[in-house]
Amino acid sequence: MLKIAVLVSGGGTNLQALIDAQRNGILSSGKIIQVISNNENAYALMRATNSGIPSAVAKTEAEIISVIEGVRPDIIVLAGFMKILTKEFIDRAGVPIINIHPSLIPSFCGKGYYGLKVHEAVLKSGVKVTGATVHYVNEIPDGGEIIAQKSLDVLPNDTPETLQRRVMENCEWVIFPRAVESVCRKIEPKIFPKPQKYAGRGIITGMNPSGGKVLAYFIMGRSVSSKARIFERSGNDLIIKLTRDDKNFDPSLILYSPLRVLGENIIITNGDQTDTIFDAMKTGGTFEGALRTREYEPDAPHYTPRISAIMTPSGHKQSILKRAGKYFYEYDYTPGKGRLIHTYNHDVMAGGVLPSFEGEPREVNIPDDMNRFAESLWRELGEDYRVALYVRYYDGDTYTDKLYNTQEA
C-alpha cells in the first residue's frame, strides 16, 4: 500500500472525502500517513486527529519538505492547499503530486482562481456547465496533466455558495478519491531506472521503511538450459534445482545455494561462493577474505562476474568479482532504501559478449508492502528472460517471503 501525504489549508472537506474513501474501500491502494497544513487554525488538522492520522503545521516550503522527507510518501495530494508550489519544491519532493480544482480546466483556473472566486467567475460568465478537475501538479498553476473531470449543470438560482457546495458534493468528493486510487495503482516501486532487457542474476539488500531487513535474489536466462531451473526453500536457505537433465553446463555455475543463513548473518550470492563464504565465516573468517580466494566464473567469453552480499545485524555488504578486479561495498541500513547489484549491464546480440555490471551497486527504493515490491520486480524482469525470483522481508527475527518460478517443478 502506498503512503499518501495530504497538504491542506482550510476546512478539509476533500481530506474528509479521502478519509471516508479509505474506510469504505474506494481508496485501497494508498493510505494517508501524514496531513500537513500551512495554517495552524485549519479545521483539517482536527479531522486528521479525529481519524488518528499524524498532522503537522508547516508554513514554508522548506518546512513542508522537512516533514515530507521525514515520512517519505509515495504520493502527495493537495486537498484545498492555498499555496502555489514552486518548481524547486516539486523537484525536491520527487514523487507525483496531484490537486483537486473546482472547475473544468482549462476554464476558470490558474493564478487567482481559488475557493469562492472560481464559482463567482463561473456565474459571472454565464456558462451553463461547471464541475471539478483532478490533475497532476507542475510549476504552472493548474497546468498539469488532467487525471479526471466531472461536470454538473449551473442552475438559474445558484449563488457562489450554493454552487460551491454542489460542486463539492457531486463532483469533488466523487472523483477525488477515485483519482487518487487510480494514481496509486499506477505507481510501482521501479527497481531498474529504465527497461532492463537482460540483467543476468541480481541481488538486492536493504531495509523497508518500517525498519525490517529486506533481500531479493533473481536469475534470468536466455537459453533453454539456463531457463530450466527453479528456486526451492530448504529450511531458512534457498536452493536451485533443474527441471530437466542437462550435461552442457558446469553444475557449480547453475546448481548452488543462492541464500544461506549463518547465525545472524544472511549470505546471498550467484554461485557456489555462497558455501565459500559460509565455511570461512563458520571458522572465524570474513566475507571479504573468503571472496578474495575466488574470481569470476570460467564461462568464456562472458566471464560472468560473481556477485555476493551479506546482511549482518549492523549493516549489509555487496561484492562483485570480475575480470577488471575485485570490488567490495559496505552500507549502513537506511529505512526504505536498498542496493542492487547484477551481473550484466544489458543484453547483446546473439554471439556477443555480455558486458559486466559497472559502478557501485545502485540505490533502490523499498516499500513496506512485500507483495507489491515482489510483484513489481517480477514484472520488471520481463516475460522473455525471467527464470526465478525470491524476496524475503524480516520483522525482527522472523520473516515472510515470496517465491516465483517461471517453470514448474
| Secondary structure class of 347 (helix, strand, coil) | coil
- Please tell me the total number of residues recorded for the chain in this structure: 409
Q: Is 346 a catalytic residue?
A: no
- Amino acid identity of 40? E
CA max distance for the chain: 87
Backbone angles phi, psi at 331, to 5 degrees: -135, 145
Cα R_g (the chain), whole angstroms = 26
What is the DSSP track for 89-105? HHHHH-S-EEEEESS-T
Contact 409, 241 (CB under 8 A): yes
* CA-based nearest residue to 255, from 263, 245, 264, 265: 245
Partner residues linked to 260 by β-bridges: 267
| Secondary structure class of 32 (helix, strand, coil) | strand
Select which of 101, 119, 302, 342 is catalytic. 101
Q: Cell triple for residue 2?
A: 502506498
* CA-based nearest residue to 219, from 240, 244, 200: 200
Catalytic residues: 101
